[in-house]
Amino acid sequence: MSMDVIIYHNPECGTSRNALAMIRNAGIEPHIVEYLKTPPARPLLIALIARAGLTPRQLLRDKGAPFEALGLADAGLADDALIDAMMAHPILINRPLVVSPLGVKLCRPSEAVLDLLPTAQRGAFAKEDGEQVIDASGTRVG
């Protein structure tokens, strides 16, 4: 199985940093797309949403600006309008979105990335906040 993994990453986001660290803890160096600098093209974003089994609203980051300023809480907005907003303001794309040979997933919480990795964790892992996710034998905790 190919080990190609792509993470749509925001280095300022702790959840995204934790997911990236778990990918690396599995011995995989992913292709990192800093989507705020290089947002996906509209057709790719639509394809990622579909492959993840999400709706555009489910991928929409609803915290802070510009979500509120753009009135995106309006449940009557069409999917195309939400995608337009994400294209104009990539910060509205929730993260991290991970693509692997096993599928596409919005990895919130970050340990959701474990379901997408084709190789096991190589050792213990704790999130930045200290929460133990993987024990010393490479087994998921909890």
Cis peptide before 96 (omega within 30 of 0): yes
Q: Among the options 13, 52, 60, 91, which is catalytic?
A: 13
> What is the distance between the alpha carbons of residues 47 and 52, in angstroms, rounded to a whole number?
8
Catalytic annotation on 13? yes
Q: DSSP string covering 59-100, please?
A: HB--SSTTTTTTTTT-TT--HHHHHHHHHH-GGGB-S-EEEE
Residues annotated as part of the active site: 13
